[in-house]
Structure formats: C-alpha cells, structure tokens
Amino acid sequence: MRLGKVCSASCRFLLIAAGFAAFALLAAAAGRDSSRNWDFAPIHKVPEKARARLNPMAGDAQAVAAGRKLYVQHCAECHGTAAEGGAKAPSLRALEVQGAAPGTLFWIVSNGVIRRGMPAWSKLPEPERWQIVSFLKSLPPDGGGQGVVAGSGKSAR
C-alpha cells in the first residue's frame, strides 16, 4: 500500500516536518560535546620559552575571582558562560586545555589563534591575562564538578 493512499497531504507534511525536527535535534546533540569537535593543535605550537612561564598569581583566590569577571567580559561570548564551548570556540574545560601549562594558556590568551577566529588579548594588562589563566586553571575538566561562572547564572554542567 502506498503512503499517498493512507496519508493525506497534511499527514505527509507532518511526517516531513517531524523528519526535519529529528535531524535538527540530532545536529544540536552532536554539537554539545564541543571538546571532540575542536583541534587543539595550537596548544602544542606554543614556543617552549612561553610554555615554561609560571603564573605569578597561582593559588591566589582573589586572582581566580578577578579572572572569572574578566572571563565573563571577554571570553564567555565565544567559549560559553560556563567555559563549556560551543559553535564559536572550544570548551576550556577540555582535558587538552586543563592539562596545558599556565604559560601556554597565557601565550594563547595574549596572542590569540587568529586563523581560528580567537583574538589576541594582548591589549589587556599582563596581570589581567594571568588572572584569566588562574580562573581557567580553577575550572574542573569536562565531566567533573558542578561549577557556576559568576555573573552568568548558569550551571557549568
């Protein structure tokens, strides 16, 4: 029996619409785990001298709090309010980012990844860039914790 005899035009329209909706849901679900969709090669291309730099604000809770505010102002638009990543930029909770040396993150924040659309934040004073690094290093990696980025009102997971 053919679908045309069993289903009217409005029924066919609903079936087609349901198919498109299912496709959209699958595409959205595929984009949720943004750490798997990004190439973290720039992390491995940071010069050794830059990688070796130590964060002068490591372990400073005030630096983490200040870095959180700076993150919301400058980074959350692309990396997500909870650093979960999205269509524009990768998760900063990804193991590749969380395992990177503080000097590596400082270099990337300072120089950007221009070919991938990340601006250089060298216009920010050096202490503010280290505060952002302190905040990033305070985040639990993907799959861990239930943090909330201050000022975002959204849960990290």
pLDDT in tens, the chain (157 residues): 555 555 666 656 555 655 555 444 444 444 444 444 677 888 999 999 999 999 999 999 999 999 999 999 999 999 999 999 988 899 999 999 999 999 999 999 999 998 888 999 999 999 999 999 999 999 999 854 333 444 444 443 3
Q: What is the pLDDT of residue 109?
A: 97
Instruction: Report d(CA 3, CA 50) in Å as an integer.
Output: 65
pLDDT for the residue 126: 98
Domain of 87 in residue numbering reads as 35-138
DSSP 27: H
Question: Quick one: 26 and 60 in the same domain?
Answer: no
Find how far residue 6's CA is from the centre of its chain.
48
Q: Based on the fold, state whether residues 66 and 19 are members of the same structural domain.
A: no
- With contact defined as beta carbons under 8 Å apart, do 138 and 70 qualify? no
| pLDDT at residue 104 in the model | 97
- The answer on 61 and 122 residing in a single domain is yes
Question: Which pLDDT belongs to residue 4?
Answer: 53
Residues 18 and 55 in one domain: no
Dihedral of CA 123/127/132/137: which sign?
positive
Q: Check whether residue 25 and residue 44 sit in a common domain.
A: no
- Residue 70, pLDDT score: 98
Q: What is the pLDDT of residue 11?
A: 58
Residues 21 and 51 placed together within one structural domain of the fold: no
